[in-house]
Amino acid sequence: QKEVEQDPGPLSVPEGAIVSLNCTYSNSAFQYFMWYRQYSRKGPELLMYTYSSGNKEDGRFTAQVDKSSKYISLFIRDSQPSDSATYLCAMSESQGNLIFGKGTKLSVKP
Amino acid sequence: DAGVIQSPRHEVTEMGQEVTLRCKPISGHDYLFWYRQTMMRGLELLIYFNNNVPIDDSGMPEDRFSAKMPNASFSTLKIQPSEPRDSAVYFCASSLFGTGRQNIQYFGAGTRLSVL
């Protein structure tokens, strides 16, 4: 079993839809949870950053962490074509050694 | 700041040749990371430095891979000799020191390596 599992998709939704992306993990020592967005032929960029359990909201984006279930989610409201990208979850115990999921490719159709 | 700068952006080489990838981190950042991204394995950490000192190189696949950070503004990842299975996109990232802050990593645009 891999440390971090993420459905690779692809996921295709119409503009304006609510998107739900998620990852599961096996290491209960993970404390820091991140979502990175990666556009084609670009480097990943940090989108959301959460410490321990709970929710965090930033504009149209909401990140949720459920440590008891070892499950994290990213919700995108009112999705836009500009949200089309690959979304990578990442996790860390503390030292910056990030473990990434393989990424979910999202396409938002106008 | 210009962000993390990697060079070259693309590298095509023949099997057996030496390849050197370069990275300039964001000024003032204490941590530097080298990653490799492939379709099969996703994004994998190869090695990371703190204040120019290698901290964890357990992700370096083989002795053919080596990384150095001679000063705070420059790092190299070298593959010698290169093999076709080394073909991937290599990313460099940097971050600041601080509880949890080292997880906020800023990535370069990557070097796309093709070994023929």
Predicted pLDDT of residue A9: 85
> Contact at 8 Å (CB) between B1 and B73?
no
Predicted pLDDT of residue A35: 97
CA dihedral A23, A25, A31, A37 (to 10 degrees): -30
Whether the pLDDT of residue B97 is over 80: the answer is no
| Cβ neighbour number for residue A104 with a 10 Å cutoff | 21
What residue type is B58 in one-letter code?
A: S
Helix/strand/coil percent split, chain A, to 5: 5, 55, 40
Of A45, A46, A96, the CB nearest to B31: A96
Residue A1 pLDDT class (50, 70, 90 cuts): low
Q: How far apart are CA A7 and CA A106, in angstroms?
A: 11
With pLDDT > 90 as the criterion, what percentage of chain B qualifies? 83
| Cβ neighbour number for residue A100 with a 10 Å cutoff | 22
Residue range A81-110: mean pLDDT, rounded: 92
With pLDDT > 90 as the criterion, what percentage of chain A qualifies? 82
Residue in this structure with the two tokens 């149209």, named with its chain if needed: A60
Q: Does B103 touch chain A (CB under 8 A)?
A: yes
Task: Test B104 with A46 for CB contact under 8 angstroms.
Answer: yes
Which chain B residues touch A43 with a CB distance below 8 Å?
4, 91, 93, 107-110
| Cβ neighbour number for residue A3 with a 10 Å cutoff | 13
User: Roughly how many angstroms between the first and final C-alpha of chain B, as a whole number?
Assistant: 36
β-pairing, A11-14 vs A104-109, is parallel
Residue A16 pLDDT class (50, 70, 90 cuts): very high
Among A70, A28, A73, A66, which residue's Cα sits nearest to residue A48? Answer: A73
